[in-house]
Chain A
Amino acid sequence: MGSFLGIRNLKVSFKTFEGTKNVIDLEALSIQKGETFGLVGESGAGKSVLAYSILKLLSSPPAIISGDAVELDGDNLLAKNERDMMNIRGRKVSMIFQDPMSSLNPVFTIGDQLSNVLRKNRRLSGKALKQEVEAMLKLVQLPDPVQSARKYPHELSGGQRQRVIIALALSCDPQFLIADEPTRNLDVTIQAQILKLIVELQRKMNVTILYIANNPELVSSICDKMGVLHRGRLIEVGSVKSVMSNPLHPYTSILLHTDSKETDGTAREAPGEVSMEDWSQLTGCRFVNQCRCIVEDCKMGIPTLKQVADDHYVACHYVTGRVG
């Protein structure tokens, strides 16, 4: 279909001492052009690994990537070699990382780092380059762009650094932006500012965004569609409205409902044992040993994404058994 990013049957595994472990087993994911897609899931679900595998940034070994297709704007990235990827990274896809503290090179001023990117990707030089650097810093609402361009990363606060990183990511004029929990280490007020900034920029520059977070509320506030990743599998996808108001998968409902009801804040994790050892070896649903609504099929077969409503898909034997 006309999807901008289309993933079909992506499998990512890691070779470890204890054998090969599957981390991502994604049957389908598609993001339309200009859309903001939110990906939620608990830590360790494989959100960042998914982001890295789209960009082919995982070193293999130990990572083993296989699957049918990771299509970006019609190109299958899985078939590209490193040289082609180098051209795609930055030009088409760009990424904002979790940790604003370490994503900037400590020995160069932010102006230098920005000009490097602009010189390479937009072939600017001299006065035009300088003006563009300041324009970019102004765009991300950094105070006093002229002065800020001369500063080193350690002279900026976390929120300011994250703005610089966003400026860096956008200065390549990407069509697709992966934001990997860009507000993770920021306090709430700054978080809100950064989110607002991302939404504004998305409107202004019409980029497609894959927004990764572990907070569903945060995703619902800025995204059009959302997907829930659980132990490497996409278990529920749909429009934000539909998923938030009517979570169907038992895991999603736990993820959503524990938040506001529980006061200690730790209840975001699903109840039951969270054992990392062998869930990648499970033949059936990966939520089976924590789920309250087990039916016969759960231990036997892997649930696949089934459409349950207009723009709402879920991968759960219990739900689809009830509906169909």
Chain B
Amino acid sequence: MNHSHLLKSLFARIREARLTLFLLTRNRLTLAAVIFALILVLVALLAPYIAPHPNHFYGVDSLEDSLQPPSSRYIFGTDEQGRDIFSRILYGTRLSLVTAILSIGLALLIGVPLGAIAGYSNRLIDEIIMRITDIFCGFPALLLAITVAAFLGPSLPNAMLAIGISWWPLYTRLIYGQVISLRERQFVRAAKVIGTHPLKIIFGHILPNCIAPLIVQASLDMGSVILVVSALSFLGLGAQPPTPDWGLMISTSRNYFLESWWYSVFPGLAIFVTVLTFNLLGDGFREVLDPKTRNR
């Protein structure tokens, strides 16, 4: 009896997962994005093991190999210090993904509770939180990130902090809108009727209903955040040499741009592909998670 129940619910779970996977992969572009995202994650995890020259991540290896064009030994060529660009790009994947995830995590951590509280609170608290959010929104995110990064001092952790600080208003607004529409729903009133604490209502009843748009927004933002991290590193406010960061690599490559095209093109391509992947993935998520577009 009990076993059959467990099995049944297990099968139901599997069916649901298969449905989600089917919906995600029905669109060819989304399918490509899913595959690419998986590859990116694998590369990030396995970078030290699959890179042909793991010792080139940071250190100087052979100066006589500097600025070699792509060859069978160095398929993306080498940089001015003779390091394998391919290996460094692989390791850069790990840096980019981790930076992006942490930055967005920080932004979510600040933005989501603020938006939820503002949406559910009385007029005064609502006004205070949302007007502060507006002030932050009035600033271009990149400019704010640059300011904060410059203020904190250039390093990758500080860049993450800067992005988190400049990114949270987006989530505050998103959640605020969601909460405002959800708090008038009957089930919220029902929760109130049985004496639920307001905080419990916000975090236990309303927020779980906001997860779908959050996933979509966060996966779309992965791309943008990777761009901003690269931009900060490019401007010298993010990763510092000899970190194999994509933006930093492009920044250094400017000096050798005319003779060594491969030096700037391949890190650029890495950024391009990654950002595109996450944008397409975000769109795919939106299609799957929104029941209205599900059956199209």
Q: Is B187's CB under 8 angstroms from A57's CB?
A: no
Q: Which residues of B contact A205 (CB under 8 A)?
A: none
In the docked arrangement, what's the CA distance between A169 and B211, Å?
Answer: 27
Interchain nearest-CB distance for B277 vs A (Å) = 28
B258 contacts the other chain (CB 8 A): no
Q: For the complex, what is the distance from the CA of A116 to the CA of B211, rounded to whole Å?
A: 20
Stretch at the interface among A97-105, A196-204, A276-284, A312-320: A97-105
User: Interface-forming stretch among A28-36, A82-90, A230-238?
Assistant: A82-90
Beta-carbon contact of A103 and B204 below 8 Å: no
Residues of B within 8 A of A86 (CB): 195-197
**Given A57-B193, A89-B192, A172-B194, A99 contacting B186 (CB threshold 8 A):** yes
Decide if B195 touches A172 in the complex (CB within 8 Å): yes
Q: Digitize A84-121: 1 where CB-to-B-CB distance is under 8 Å, 0 elsewhere.
A: 00111111011101010011111110000000110011
Verify if B185 is at the interface (C-beta below 8 Å from A): yes
State whether A91 touches B186 (Cβ < 8 A). no
B191 in contact (CB, < 8 A): yes
A104 to B187, CA, bound (A): 5
Contact (Cβ within 8 A) B193 A90: yes
Docked-complex contact B208 and A107, CB < 8 angstroms: yes
Asked if B27 is at the interface of the complex by the 8 Å CB criterion, the answer is no
Q: Cβ of B190: which chain A residues have Cβ within 8 Å of it?
A: 95, 97, 103-104, 165, 168
Check B5 against A105 for contact (C-beta < 8 Å): no
Tell me the residues in window 51-88 of chain B with beta carbons closer than 8 Å to chain A beta carbons. none
Contact of B209 with A117 in the complex, beta carbons under 8 Å: no
A90-B208 contact in complex given A103-B186, A103-B187, C-beta closer than 8 Å: no
Residues of B close to A169: CB separation below 8 A: 193-194
Which listed residue (B5, B186, B192, B194) contacts A102, Cβ 8 A?
B186
B189 interface hit (Cβ, 8 Å): yes
Residues in chain A near residue B189, CB distance under 8 A: 57, 97, 103
B20 touches A (CB below 8 Å)? no
> A34-46 CB contact bits vs B (8 Å, 1 = yes)?
0000000000000
B9 contacts the other chain (CB 8 A): yes
B193 touches A55 (CB 8 A): yes
A172 to chain B, nearest CB (A): 5
Compute how far the CA of A213 lies from the CA of B209 in the bound complex, rounded to whole angstroms: 31
Asked if A94 and B209 sit within 8 Å, CB to CB, the answer is no
A120–B187 alpha-carbon span in the complex (Å): 17
Q: What is the number of residues of chain B that contact chain A, defined by CB distance less than 8 Å? A: 19
Q: Does A139 belong to the interface (CB within 8 Å)? A: no
> Is there an interface contact between B193 and A105, defined as CB atoms closer than 8 Å?
no
Query: Is the Cβ of B186 less than 8 Å from the Cβ of A150?
Result: no
Mask: chain A, 112-147; 1 = CB below 8 Å from B; 0 = not:
000011001100000000000000000000000011
Chain B residues in 8 Å Cβ range of A165: 190
Tell me whether A102 and B185 are in contact (CB under 8 A): yes
**CB of A143 to closest CB in B, whole Å:** 15
Complex contacts, B197 vs chain A, CB 8 Å: 86
CB-contact partner of A105 in B9, B192, B195, B209, under 8 A: B209
Tell me, rounded to whole Å, the shortest Cβ–Cβ distance linking A165 to chain B.
7
Within 8 A of B (CB), among A38-75: 55, 57
| A94 in complex: contacting residue of B187, B194, B208, CB < 8 Å | B194
Distance between Cα atoms of A104 and B193 in the complex (Å):
13
A172 to B196, CA, bound (A): 11
- Taking the closest CB of chain A, its distance from the CB of B258, in whole angstroms, is 57
CA distance A57 to B190 in the complex (A): 10
In the bound complex, residues from chain A placing their C-beta under 8 Å from that of B205 are: 105
Q: Which residues of B contact A108 (CB under 8 A)?
A: 208
A129 to B185, CA, bound (A): 28
The smallest C-beta distance from A62 to any residue of chain B, in angstroms, reads 12
Residues of A within 8 A of B186 (CB): 97, 99, 102-103
Contact B209 A90 (CB under 8 A): no
Decide if A106 touches B209 in the complex (CB within 8 Å): yes
Chain A proximity of B274: nearest CB distance (Å): 31
Determine how close the nearest CB of chain B comes to the CB of A185; give it in whole angstroms.
12
**Complex: A154 Cα to B252 Cα, angstroms:** 56
Q: Are B187 and A102 in contact (CB under 8 A)?
A: yes
A117 contacts which chain B residues (CB < 8 A)?
194
| Chain B residue, CB-CB nearest to A55 | B193
Q: Please measure, in the bound complex, the distance between the C-alpha atom of A30 and the C-alpha atom of B205, giving whole angstroms.
A: 35
Residue of B nearest to A104 (CB): B187
Which residue of B5, B187, B195, B204 contacts A91 across the interface (Cβ within 8 Å)?
B195
* Closest-CB distance, A140 to chain B (whole angstroms): 16
Question: In the docked arrangement, what's the CA distance between A87 and B208, Å?
Answer: 24
Task: Give 15 pairs: A residue, B residue, CB < 8 Å, sorted on A.
Answer: A57-B192, A57-B193, A93-B193, A97-B189, A97-B190, A99-B186, A103-B189, A104-B190, A105-B205, A116-B204, A117-B194, A120-B195, A146-B5, A150-B9, A172-B195
- New A-B contacts (13) at CB < 8 Å, excluding given A57-B193, A86-B195: A88-B195, A89-B193, A89-B194, A90-B196, A91-B195, A94-B194, A99-B186, A102-B185, A105-B208, A106-B187, A117-B194, A169-B193, A172-B194
Which 6 pairs across A and B sit closest by C-beta, in order of nearness? A90-B195, A90-B194, A89-B195, A102-B186, A103-B186, A95-B193
